[in-house]
Amino acid sequence: MQFSEVLSSVAADGDSQFRITVSDDWGQGRATFGGLIAAAGNEAMRRVVPHDRPLRSLQTTFVGPAAAGTWTMHTRVLRVGRAVTLAHCDIMDGDQVAAIQVGVYGLARSSQVTVRPQVTEAPRKIEEINEVRFQPERAPPFLQHFAHRWSRGAKPFSGTRSNSICFIRHRDPSPLTESHIVALVDCIPTPALSMLTAPAPASSLVWNLEFFEHEFAFGSDHWWRIDTDIDAATEGYVNQTGLLQDPDGRPVALSRQVFAIFG
């Protein structure tokens, strides 16, 4: 299923409960790609939160693996203020909780404080980089839905410490939405894998995605950029930060994740 087809499968089971169907080509290890799980919850919360309030923060805690099939999403609005709405979503795979989310959606307001992240020039421009070929025997199935061009970054399991700069886009030709970008941010592996010398799994535990720009009307063939680095790694847990830039080179979102790494 294309990403837009998965989102189109969202159906209501009442005022605040929804279901979504996900195919097995979105698999990642024994679970489903975490970026799709987070995007699904955002789609459900968007059914109860007006679209004139842009997504400011999406906080996802991955509780357990979600298999391909039909999930149930229970939403509720926690608070509605003059500018900010907070919503909650439980994503269920059968009787098991797969993820818990809180979405913060807020109207723009005037402020004297404006600060945007500083961006650096990529060591290699996108036109100088070959696109990574999807190899089903070596990569998780969900990667077939994304295109990657690596400007910087060591290969997984190479025993090398390196931050990463990657140009990314959906292969889905449908128009981009807010939820498309949520999933896009999560489509590259953690740089911690490059520090290992042999294959070992990693699992995202908590993901905070924070938007400060909200222009998503770019062509589906345009390339976004994600810069990712490890902030700390101790006792089998990795803390990392990513910065997303849109096709015009404007920083639009910060990604912060905590991983468990089994190696």
Least confident of 177-186, 194-203, 209-218: 194-203
Split at pLDDT 50, 70, 90, the class of 51 is very high
Task: Look up the CATH architecture of domain 3-107+126-261.
Answer: Beta Barrel (2.40)
Residue 145: is its pLDDT beyond 90?
yes
The stretch 202-231 carries a mean pLDDT of 96
Compute the distance between CA of residue 215 and CA of residue 210 in angstroms, rounded to an integer: 14
The stretch 15-35 carries a mean pLDDT of 95
Per-chain mean pLDDT for the chain:
96
The stretch 181-201 carries a mean pLDDT of 94
Q: What pLDDT was estimated at residue 36?
A: 98
Q: What pLDDT was estimated at residue 137?
A: 87
Q: What pLDDT was estimated at residue 162?
A: 87
Residue 104: is its pLDDT beyond 90?
yes
Of residues 246, 235, 245, the one with CA closest to residue 258: 235
Residue 263: is its pLDDT beyond 90?
no
Can you say whether the dihedral through the CA atoms of 132, 133, 134, 139 is positive or negative? negative
Q: What pLDDT was estimated at residue 37?
A: 98
Compute the distance between CA of residue 85 and CA of residue 105 in angstroms, rounded to an integer: 5
Residue 12 Rama label (left phi>0; alpha psi -120 to 50; beta): beta
DSSP state of 111: -
Residue 29: is its pLDDT beyond 90?
no
- Which one is predicted more confidently, 107 or 154? 107
Of residues 32, 36, 56, the one with CA closest to residue 44: 36
Compute the distance between CA of residue 259 and CA of residue 240 in angstroms, rounded to an integer: 8
Split at pLDDT 50, 70, 90, the class of 71 is very high
Least confident of 44-48, 132-136, 173-177, 254-258: 132-136
Split at pLDDT 50, 70, 90, the class of 38 is very high
Q: What pLDDT was estimated at residue 155?
A: 85
DSSP state of 112: S
